Amino acid sequence: MSMWRDKKTQPTEPHDVQQTAPPPPPPPASRQETPMNETTSRLSSTAPGTPRQTILGPSVVLKGELTADEDLLIEGQFEGTVSLEQHCLTVGANGHVKAEIKARQAVILGTLTGKVAAREKVEIRRSGHLVGDLATGAVAIEEGAYFKGSIEILRDEPKESPRGASPRSAAPPSAAPPRPSGTNA
Amino acid sequence: MFPKKTFFESHGSRNPPPEAPSRALEWLWQNLREVKHPHVFDCGPVQPATINVLLKRGAKLYVSDLITLARESDPKFIRRLGKTTTFLTDAFLENIPPIPPDSLSVIACWHLLDLLPRDAIPGLLTRLWSYLRTGGVLFCLLREPSLPNGAGTRWWLDSLMTLRSDPESKLPFPYPVLTNREIEHLVPGGNLKTFLTRSARREIVAIK
């Protein structure tokens, strides 16, 4: 999918998401390579292909433990833990989250402080501000995003060879990339 | 992963600067060729290209933009008493994310040492040094002594062994140039290598 595709082909009113939830049936577009332009970054919370999405609106202030079996968009303030093992968490542009997060995928457009474990991918968009530790299958940080913390890519390591085995089989750096960071989940 | 988009593409510039091959980086990665998953601390501004390059190398990354903090001379790090100005090194160092001691294989300082007052550098280097494992490498850039128009302060990795910089980040540096002799004294017990370039910068690697 092209990153610079024609914006005219995309819906333009992201606020409809909140007013018309649950969201409309998913368009056939792929959810794997979300373009990074402004329009679609605002629309990503509609998460094409997902049947339902919960929205914590801008006026919501919540503390505690949150578990869900559907996608979650936080536009308000949340503090605690979020567990969405099979689903996507989006911290909206107005969202302020201080939490430990487990999700399949996380998209940060607002402010997030805490640890994020996202099995597939973490995206930090231009407006995103993240302070914390990421453990994920892939990460995409847009130019202009703020990030302070650590990034660890989860790998399906081959079974350990016996101790003492020579590490010299490691690829030299010139041939270095063991695999693209986006495909090692 | 998103399509690779450089700073220049995102800002509408048609002429990104040419790649700058780095002999220091070449040496560094050759030195670390057997480290499969190096732990790397990047002190520069968040650059998608740098992050992608290092993650593809298999690194675990620590990121904190100390360069911008130093470039902008944030007043919260400066105390003025009469005519005396003191740089609050401890407050500055609080911006480093939690990193286990003796764990890092690489610290990318870029031009950070050029951007800090001289009295802040020993504390900074001592702290950074404590994060390096034995054999770990501190990589930094230093400007050449005479640069009337300043030099770029915003650099990133275009590949493991090539750099790019943002010409708009070109600034005159506020402090006197660091000489190689000074760096040798400042790096605690380190083995230092200097790579001269014809591009107004020295590339320094210090091995723990």
pLDDT value of position B179: 86
Confirm whether A40 is domain-assigned: no
- Is the pLDDT reported for residue B126 higher than 50? yes
Cβ within 8 Å, pair A170-B36: yes
Task: Label residue B201 by pLDDT band (50, 70, 90).
Answer: confident
Cβ within 8 Å, pair A148-B57: no
Rounded distance between C-alpha atoms, residue B167 and residue B147, angstroms: 14
CA distance B69 to chain A (A): 13
Evaluate whether B180 touches B170 at the Cβ level (below 8 Å): no
B108: which strand partners?
Answer: B42, B139
pLDDT value of position A3: 47
Q: How many separate domains does chain A show? A: 1
Give pLDDT tens digits for A136-147: 999 999 988 999
| B65 contacts chain A (CB < 8 A) | yes
pLDDT value of position B191: 86
Cβ within 8 Å, pair A139-B60: no
Give pLDDT tens digits for A155-179: 776 555 555 444 444 444 444 444 4
B 171-200 → A contacts, CB under 8 A:
none
Confirm whether A91 is domain-assigned: yes
Which has the higher per-residue pLDDT, B93 or B72?
A: B93
A21 Cβ contact partners less than 8 Å away, ≥ 6 residues apart: A53, A55
- Is the pLDDT reported for residue A128 higher than 80? yes
Task: Please give the share of chain A, as a percent, with pLDDT higher than 90.
Answer: 51
**Residue from A30, A33, A148 whose CB has the most chain B CBs within 10 Å, to mutate:** A148
Confirm whether A4 is domain-assigned: no
pLDDT value of position A118: 95
Rounded distance between C-alpha atoms, residue A129 and residue A78, angstroms: 15
Give pLDDT tens digits for B172-188: 777 888 888 888 888 87
B192: which strand partners?
Answer: B206
Tell me which DSSP letter residue B89 carries. H
pLDDT value of position B171: 74
pLDDT value of position B200: 76
Stretch among A11-20, B79-88, B147-156, B189-198 having the lowest mean pLDDT = A11-20
Evaluate whether A111 touches A127 at the Cβ level (below 8 Å): no
Domain that holds residue A79: 50-143
Cβ within 8 Å, pair B2-A170: no
CA distance A172 to chain B (A): 5
Q: Hey, what long-range contacts does B190-196 have (CB within 8 A, 24 or more apart)?
A: B190/B129, B190/B138, B193/B24, B193/B27, B195/B22, B195/B23, B195/B24, B195/B27
Contacts B5 to A, Cβ<8 Å = 3, 36, 143
A86: which strand partners?
Answer: none
Contacts A130 to B, Cβ<8 Å = none
Confirm whether A184 is domain-assigned: no
Ranges of each domain in chain B: 7-11+39-207
CA distance A144 to chain B (A): 8
Structure tokens at B153: 């302060």
Confirm whether A148 is domain-assigned: no
Cβ within 8 Å, pair B60-A142: no
Cβ within 8 Å, pair B97-A3: no
Task: Please give the share of chain B, as a percent, with pLDDT higher than 70.
Answer: 88
Task: Label residue A131 by pLDDT band (50, 70, 90).
Answer: very high
Give pLDDT tens digits for B131-167: 999 999 999 998 887 766 666 778 889 999 998 888 7
- Strand, helix or coil for residue B203: strand
DSSP states of B178-205: PPHHHHHHHSTT-EEEEEE-SSSEEEEE
Give pLDDT tens digits for B7-19: 444 444 455 566 7
pLDDT (average), residues A95-105: 95
pLDDT (average), residues B37-44: 94
Which of A79, A131, A78, A134 lies closest to A106 in space, CA to CA?
A134
- Is the pLDDT reported for residue A116 higher than 50? yes
B52: which strand partners?
Answer: none
- Strand, helix or coil for residue B128: helix
**Residue from A38, A121, A134, A143 whose CB has the most chain B CBs within 10 Å, to mutate:** A143
Confirm whether A58 is domain-assigned: yes
B163: which strand partners?
Answer: B20, B157
- Is the pLDDT reported for residue B97 higher than 60? yes
| A153 contacts chain B (CB < 8 A) | yes
Structure tokens at B114: 């050029």
Give pLDDT tens digits for A30-82: 444 444 444 333 444 454 555 588 999 999 999 999 999 999 999 999 999 99
Give me the interface pTM, i.e. the ipTM.
Answer: 0.83
The number of CA neighbours under 13 Å toward the Cβ of B169 is: 21
DSSP states of B60-74: EEEE--HHHHHHTT-
pLDDT (average), residues A9-13: 44
Evaluate whether A27 touches A34 at the Cβ level (below 8 Å): no
For chains A and B, count residue pairs whose Cβ atoms are closer than 8 Å: 92
Tell me which DSSP letter residue B171 carries. B
The region, left, alpha or beta by phi > 0 then psi within -120 to 50, assigned to residue A12 is alpha
Second CATH level (architecture) for the domain B7-11+39-207: 3-Layer(aba) Sandwich (3.40)
| B29 contacts chain A (CB < 8 A) | yes
Mean pLDDT, all residues of chain B: 84
Confirm whether A123 is domain-assigned: yes
Which of A182, A185, A172, A160 lies closest to A34 in space, CA to CA?
A182
DSSP states of B12-59: T-S-PPPPEE-HHHHHHHHHTTT-SS-EEEE-S---HHHHHHHHHTT-
- Is the pLDDT reported for residue B92 higher than 50? yes
Confirm whether A17 is domain-assigned: no
